[in-house]
Amino acid sequence: MEAKLLHEDKKKQTLLFEVKDASPAYMNAIRRSIIDNVPVMAIDEVEFRKNSSILYDEVVAHRLGLIPLTTDLKSYFVSKDCKCDGAGCARCTLKLTLSMKGPKMVTSEDFKTADPKIKPAFDKIPIVKLLKGQDIEFEATAKLGVGKDHAKWVPGLAWYTYKPKLTINNNAKKIEEFKDKYPPQIFDKSGKIDKNLMLFPNLVGACEGICDELIKVEWDESSYLFYVESWGQLSCKEIVKTAIEQFDSKIAQFEELVKKLK
Ligand SMILES: [Zn+2]
């Protein structure tokens, strides 16, 4: 098996790599490991001291849970594997507080965090709009958790396709005839079809079968394109690296169990 990095955009937090000579089952195992097993921080409990906003406590709490928090995997443990057995301690949880008075749009940048490494990944996520005279104050507990327990702990999006084999023929007449049917992003400044613009973001499916004389799409079933997009808690590389480590450790645990069988 071989893997090669094809594209990384650190600003948009996206990654594309190619894998050769693997099975769909293996690729899917990595995808599921990313979604289910890579731990990230998310708000899990909220204690409200004041809330005279238009939203109920539960609605605000739900919104808070879905705010991606930057995650430091070296300093925290997943709650249920921590020495505290999931009760919550400084090794697996972190407190974030917020206290605001209206009139104001309360956003994720208004949080105060006890650990500067753990903070909202984006500043301008709206939480609630306070009118004059309304206020909100709460203490939220963020926990390190995994996506198989709740979607708020999913680190991002992961998906793969077979590698497309693209045959492109920039026939000016045909382009004129079919241009409207293709995604506009695939054309370069001079109006020609650019292969690379079709791969990232992946627009191959949207180009298949429209006009084979212009773009012919075939699929190489021994190679894969694997896409990762982070929600902001971890970098894409950290996500992939941790997913593979988690996968390996599960295989090692299974191996230990099998050895005991005899
Ligand atoms: Zn703990």
Closest of 120, 74, 92, 85 to residue 242, by C-alpha: 74
Are the beta carbons of 4 and 17 closer than 8 angstroms? yes
Are the beta carbons of 220 and 162 closer than 8 angstroms? yes
Spacing, Cα 79 to ligand 1 middle (Å):
5
Spacing, Cα 80 to ligand 1 middle (Å):
8
Fold annotation for 40-149: RNA Polymerase Alpha Subunit; Chain A, domain 2 (2.170.120)
Which residues make up the CATH 2.170.120.12 domain(s) of the chain?
A: 40-149
Spacing, Cα 58 to ligand 1 middle (Å):
25
Amino acid letter for position 135: D
Task: Please count the CA atoms within 13 angstroms of the CA of 129 that sit on its side-chain side.
Answer: 1
Spacing, Cα 20 to ligand 1 middle (Å):
40
How many beta carbons lie within 10 A of that of residue 183, not counting itself? 12
Spacing, Cα 30 to ligand 1 middle (Å):
28
Spacing, Cα 61 to ligand 1 middle (Å):
22
Residue written as token pair 């999006």: 157
Spacing, Cα 50 to ligand 1 middle (Å):
28
Spacing, Cα 251 to ligand 1 middle (Å):
25
Structure tokens at 207: 């180009």
The predicted model scores a pTM of: 0.87
* Helices and strands (H, E) in the chain, number of each type: 6, 10
Angstrom CA distances, 61 to 35, 169, 248, stand at 23, 54, 35
Amino acid letter for position 22: A
Interatomic CA distance for residues 70 and 114, integer angstroms: 13
Sorted by sequence, the CB contacts under 8 Å of residue 176 that are 6+ apart come out as none
* Tens digit of pLDDT at every position of the chain (262 positions): 899 998 899 999 999 999 999 999 999 999 999 999 999 999 999 999 999 999 999 999 999 999 999 999 999 999 888 899 888 899 999 999 999 998 999 999 999 998 999 999 999 999 999 999 999 999 999 999 999 999 999 999 999 999 999 999 988 888 889 999 999 999 999 889 998 888 888 899 999 999 999 999 999 998 999 999 999 999 999 999 999 999 999 999 999 999 998 7
Spacing, Cα 94 to ligand 1 middle (Å):
10
Summarised one tens digit per residue, pLDDT across range 70-112 is 999 999 999 888 899 888 899 999 999 999 998 999 999 999 9
> What pLDDT is attached to residue 196?
87
| SS3 (DSSP) at 230 | strand
Spacing, Cα 181 to ligand 1 middle (Å):
55
> What pLDDT is attached to residue 171?
85
Summary mean pLDDT of the chain: 93
Spacing, Cα 244 to ligand 1 middle (Å):
24
Angstrom CA distances, 236 to 32, 103, 198, 214, stand at 15, 38, 21, 34
Sorted by sequence, the CB contacts under 8 Å of residue 225 that are 6+ apart come out as 6, 16, 17, 18, 160, 161, 162, 163, 164, 199, 202
Are the beta carbons of 140 and 64 closer than 8 angstroms? yes
First CA to last CA across the chain, in angstroms? Answer: 32
Interatomic CA distance for residues 47 and 142, integer angstroms: 12
Beta-bridge partners for 65: none
